[in-house]
Amino acid sequence: MSEHTQHLKELFAKAASIDDPAKRGNFLAQACENEPALRKQLDDLLEAHEAATDFIPLNPASNPSKAKETALTEAEGSVIGRYKLLQNIGEGGCGVVYMAEQQQPVTRRVALKIIKLGMDTKQVVARFEAERQALAMMEHPNIAKVLDAGATDTGRPFFVMELVRGIPITEFCDQHQLDMRSRLELFMDVCSAIQHAHQKGVIHRDIKPSNIMVSMHDHRAVPKIIDFGIAKATQQKLTDKTLFTQFHHFIGTPAYMSPEQANISGLDVDTRSDIYSLGVLLYELMTGRTPLDAQELTRADYDEMRRRIREEEPIYPSTQVSGMQESDLSAVARRRNTEPSRLNRLMRGELDWIVMKALEKDRNRRYETAAEFSLDIQRYLQFEPVKAAAPSSLYRFRKFARRNKGVLTAAAMILTLLVVGSVLSTYLAVKATMAQREADDAAQKAIEARALAEDREKDVTDQKNLAVQSAKALRENLYASDMYQAQNFLREDNIAKSRELLIKYLPQSDDDPDLRGFEWQYLWDRSEGNELYVFKDLQRPVGAVTFSHDGRWLAGLSDEGVAVWSVVSRSRVALLDAGSSNGWPFGMRVRFSADDRYLFVGRDLNRWRRSGSLAVWKTDNWSQIHSYRGLSFPLYETSASGVFSAHGPEGIHQFDLTSPEKDAEVQQQHPFSEKVLRSYAFSADAQLIAMHDRGQEAAAIYEVSTARKLADWPELFSGSGGLISIANGMKYVAWISDPMNRDAEDMRFRLFAPFEEREIILDQSQPGMLMAAEFSPDTQWLVAGGWDYLLHVWNAASGKKVGSFKGHLDEIFSLAFSPNSQTLASGSKDGRVYLWDLRSMKEKQEMETVDYRVAQEQASSIQQLQDLIDLFPQAIWAECDRGNLDVFSPPQLERQGLRVSPDGKHRVAPGEDGHLEVFNLQTGLYEASLAISRANRGWRSGRYQGHFISNQRFLYHNGEKWLIWNVMDDRLEPRPIPEVFTTFKGASDDGRYLGLSKNAESPEVWIYDFDAGKEISALSGVDHNPRGMVFSPDGSLVTSIGWDKRVQVWDSQTGSISHVLTGHKQGVASAAFSYDGKSICT
């Protein structure tokens, strides 16, 4: 304060104390002699002092000395009394706060609050007066002081407070990154201010960060509570500001409101309501969030908001922090100047107890006063027991130890030193007594030990050299064995496995020993394929390939799409969506039209697929022009361009692609309309077709254009299906009666010359199952391929095998010749499409035999294995006698519907009246039966869906879902299998774990725990739908059987792959674990 102001204040006080006007005039004349400006200031002050009958005059007429007219509305720059409004700094429900400049009798910046225009009702004015009275009673450094009050000329009251320059307490703490101790100390100042207000009989009722401003004074943070006790009676919608609704004085901010404030009446509110709001403030200072989410509260309706405030229990601050996302937690920890990992530990325990005591819904369990709240925080900061929890003796001792850490540490160290000293003294005394006696013994032992160490060092050196030599010999023997095996693979033209073994010995670094010799290089050179080119755009099995009629394009089809390549440039021309996935590769068809303007893609019509979809693309821009639903191959073309016929569910339909109406069917009867095909095959020029009509016992060969039967073929399709290829002009016919049969005669590939009426004996028949065969358009060559990865080439006229193409790394599913008969294309199971040049065909050369040495230890092991083989039959019978071998039924019995339990004691078979019957195989007696729907597919042939999953449990499908029948107790298990599972793959020995599939064509299998009634893992990683699953004896491991050549072993509990075993050339037909679960046989 300046000297002038202090002098003015003293003179005013003395003049105001003189009641006699004459004496007061004399006093002023003497005090202000030669100072007219000072006299004028004193006169104005005294005049204003005399005119102020009340602190806030409500009637402007009572102050006639005000000559200056006040506007109806205030704005920045307006003058109210001695205050010039500078800036609007806040606005509430009924008042506006301005930063103003006091002009008389002193000049300073203040905060002026005035009732809004139109809000000066009797109720609001009364509350405004109550607030002024409450603030006027308080004298506390952390509460904003009231300096003056008055009313405008229009009668609207105002009052003046000290101007608090600061920011809300939460923003201040975050901006200055105050640690937890600093925040607690700042919060204790707020508690002190609230305690002062409570002592004055005032309840704030709206404690929140925006009403507590913090600024720096003398390098110290000082909080100031503003807007103290404001009762917001205005009507406004629920926002994050103070709510004042018509619902019976609902006062306060929802996120900071106590449960008793949320009651409709709001009458039963005491100082403990402010304790709750202080607890919310402390919670937010610690965690950065309020206990109840403010946005969720404001979004809720009125009743729901009140209910949540009264009933919803907040979570602990430490729990709030531990549940944050990593980014939010890092930000909160950074603002509190600590590490994220330490933040939770800081709050856990006492701080949690203190905050939760303040947030009790029952106010009787809260702190009684703000001072008690502050004192408990002080106890925490001074490492004393807090009141918020009932401390145990151990807890009190820990606090005592922490407060007196130095004293207790010193006492513990002294005690430890005393104990150690006593023990050490005793030990040294005994040691000294024994030292002399042991010295002589030690000297002698040292001499002996030195000699022993030298001997052991020599032994270690010898053993190390022996280990190095043994390891080297082992590597060399393993190398010799692998080279021998690679040579055997090459004899079988299995390039894939041969290369797999050879690659093992490529050095990975300069430090790796290089064991490769001339034999490795020789085998490496011989393992190269003789393909012309490999297209790798497809990843799934290629079910069909075809050349365009001009030989420019090659198309390959898998269930992931159609790839079209340029034969000349070896580049991909188009990749078309075939509209299917995870489908069976057999029966896929792709074909160019006779004029190469169109590409047709679809599937065969067979007993599983009664209808399909036929898609057509234009080859000039590779755009799909139509998709015919319900149509399937075979497809017939007429001489007119764009006119074709295809099989549908009701016969053969003919369409014209050149017609504007692509769906318009040409009304014309086709010669093959009455035929229902099981399978078929075209000649290379599509002039001949071999058909197996579902109503006929044998196949027949027809001329496509006239439907004239040329020959019957009774030897074809004797079983479930066959493989046939017709040469142009029916010069030759090649076939396999049933490629899926295990009978050698049915699997034999045969060649016949119909016009000569003779069978041509094929030379060097194939070593494996054939899946595709084609004649070249010029009828010179016959090529076939299948499971042995080789393309076998015969001279059709003589049947002599002229050689084979090697290079495929997987089974061969499809073949096609180029129109000039010089280029061959083949599609593989691994999605690759190969090109071969028939002009480069060479006869297979015999490999030279490379001899390898066998170590003596290996020879001994081989002899032991031979001895074991000689004893094997006796060993089998011995195990049978001991009961260590499982009982199994042959596949023939399985196909007849007979199911035998794993222990061989029970048999289940279909009865005549739609029941499954159980027989005891030991007694031969009937025991029980179960009614099952005759509609179950395959009932007559025994191919119903039923399996023993343990000695007692029999799993079967009733046409709608899987059920489990306990054959021992003759009852259904109460817990069914969820209907989402459609296919059974296998079960553990005890029947607890089941391998089930949700989609018959999906490769993914789920492990279902029947006892627990839940899925426990999902098995993935196989390329094809597995045919079955096999569990280890304890159920912890599981493997699959099916098309995949790799044997994958999963952890049944987690679904993770534990082993991947390789070596199979084709798929895996069966698998079994050893009794100890450590070995697997496939």
| Per-position DSSP letters for 695-730, written without gaps between them | T-SSEEEEETTTTEEEEEETTS--SS--EEEE-GGG
- pLDDT of residue 937 exceeding 70, the answer is no
Per mean pLDDT, which of 97-106, 229-238, 721-730 is the most reliable?
A: 97-106
| pLDDT for residue 196 | 92
pLDDT tens track for 947-983: 787 777 887 777 777 888 777 777 777 777 887 787 8
Looking at residues 142-148, what average pLDDT do you find? 87
Amino acid at 958: N
- Write phi, then psi, for 917 (nearest 5 degrees): -110, 140
* Strand spans (E) along 992-1056: 993-997, 1005-1009, 1014-1019, 1028-1031, 1037-1041, 1047-1051
Residues belonging to the active site: 206
pLDDT over 60 at 991, yes or no? yes
Determine the 3-state secondary structure of 156 from DSSP.
coil
591 close to 574: Cβ distance less than 8 angstroms: no
Cα(498)–Cα(517) distance, integer angstroms? 16
Q: Tell me what pLDDT residue 236 has.
A: 35
Domain boundaries, the chain: 1-51, 76-163, 167-392, 538-839, 886-971, 977-1082
Which of 127-131, 163-167, 573-577 has the lowest average pLDDT? Answer: 127-131
| Second CATH level (architecture) for the domain 886-971 | Beta Barrel (2.40)
pLDDT band at 185 (very low <50, low <70, confident <90, very high): very high
Q: How confident is the model at residue 943 (pLDDT cuts 50, 70, 90)?
A: low
The continuous run of DSSP H or E covering 158 comes out as: strand 157-162
Q: Is 746 helix (H, G, I), strand (E, B) or coil?
A: helix
Mean pLDDT of 758-762: 81
Rg (CA), the chain: 49
Average pLDDT over residues 800-806: 84
Q: Pick the range with the lowest mean pLDDT from 760-774, 789-803, 888-902.
A: 888-902
CA distance 199 to 206: 17
Burial 550-576 (b: 16+ CB within 10 A, else e): eebbbbbbbbbbbbbbebeeeeeebeb
On whether the 167-392 domain is CATH 1.10.10.10, my answer is no
Looking at this protein, which amino acid is placed at residue 959?
Answer: G
Per the listing, tokens 């920045």 go with: 76
* Confidence class for position 922, pLDDT limits 50, 70, 90: low
DSSP H or E stretch at residue 566: strand 561-566
User: What pLDDT was estimated at residue 282?
Assistant: 95
The pLDDT tens digits for 64-97 are 444 344 444 678 888 988 999 999 888 776 778 8
Measured CA to CA, the distance from residue 166 to residue 135 in angstroms comes to 19
Q: CB 998: neighbour CB atoms within 10 A?
A: 14
Lookup: tokens for 227: 């807007």
- Higher-scoring residue by pLDDT: 607, 193: 193
The whole-model pTM stands at 0.48
Q: Is pLDDT above 70 for 608?
A: no
437 pLDDT higher than 70: yes
| Burial of 1022 (C-beta count, 10 Å sphere; 0-12/13-18/19+) | middle
The whole-number average pLDDT for the span 1064-1074 is 79
Please give the span between the terminal C-alpha atoms of the chain, in angstroms, as a whole number. Answer: 100
Pairing of strands 962-966, 781-786: unpaired
CATH superfamily, region 977-1082: YVTN repeat-like/Quinoprotein amine dehydrogenase (2.130.10.10)
Asked if 1037 and 1048 touch (Cβ cutoff 8 Å), the reply is no
Render pLDDT for 347-396 as a digit per residue (tens, 0 to 9): 998 999 999 999 999 899 999 999 999 999 999 999 899 988 755 667 56
Among 139-143, 746-750, 940-944, 995-999, name the most confident range: 139-143
Looking at the chain, the whole-number percentage of residues with pLDDT higher than 70 is: 80
Q: CB–CB of 370/200 below 8 Å?
A: no
Buried b (16+ CB within 10 A) or exposed e, 987-996: bbbbbbbbbb
Residue-level pLDDT at 954:
82
Predicted local confidence at residue 232, as pLDDT: 39
886-971 has the same fold as 538-839: no
Q: Which of 35-44, 299-308, 886-895 has the lowest mean pLDDT?
A: 886-895
* CA dist list (Å): 331 to 174, 176, 287, 325, 341: 10, 14, 11, 10, 12
Q: What is the pLDDT of residues 850-899, one digit of tens each?
A: 444 444 444 444 444 344 344 444 444 444 444 444 444 444 444 455 67
pLDDT > 90? residue 330: yes
> Would you state the pLDDT for residue 1018?
87
Over 60: is that where the pLDDT of 233 sits? Answer: no
pLDDT value of residue 566: 93
Report residue 901 as tokens.
Answer: 């339990």
Q: Report residue 742's pLDDT band, with 50, 70 and 90 as the boundaries.
A: very low
pLDDT of residue 73: 62
User: For residue 746, what are the CA distances in angstroms to 128, 151, 630, 756, 791?
Assistant: 107, 115, 34, 23, 20
List pLDDT tens digits, range 676-687: 677 788 888 888
* Residue 838 predicted with pLDDT over 80: yes
- Give the residue, 275 or 631, on which the prediction is more confident: 275
Length of the chain: 1082
Q: What superfamily does domain 538-839 belong to in CATH?
A: YVTN repeat-like/Quinoprotein amine dehydrogenase (2.130.10.10)
Binning pLDDT at 50, 70 and 90, where does residue 1028 land? Answer: confident
Peptide bond before 391: cis, by omega within 30 degrees of 0? no
The SS3 assignment for 1052 reads coil
When the pLDDT of each residue in the chain is averaged and rounded to a whole number, the result is 78
Q: Give the CA distances from residue 1053 to residues 447, 1036, 1079, in Å, rounded to whole numbers and listed in that order.
A: 60, 7, 19
Handedness of CA 280, 284, 290, 295 (dihedral sign): positive
Question: Could you tell me which residue, 499 or 353, shows the higher pLDDT?
Answer: 353
- The answer to whether the bond into 634 is cis (omega within 30° of 0) is yes
- Reported as a single tens digit per residue, the pLDDT across 422-436 is 888 888 888 888 888
The answer, yes or no, to whether residue 413 has pLDDT greater than 70, is yes
> In the predicted model, is pLDDT for residue 734 greater than 60?
yes
Q: In the CATH scheme, what architecture does the domain 76-163 have?
A: 2-Layer Sandwich (3.30)
**Does the pLDDT value for residue 168 go beyond 70?**
yes
- Reported as a pLDDT band with limits 50, 70 and 90, residue 467 is confident
Q: In what order do the strands lie in the sheet with 899-900?
A: 899-900, 906-910, 915-920, 926-931
Q: Is the pLDDT of residue 754 over 80?
A: yes
Higher local confidence (pLDDT), 472 or 188: 188
Q: What is the pLDDT of residues 272-288, one digit of tens each?
A: 999 999 999 999 999 99
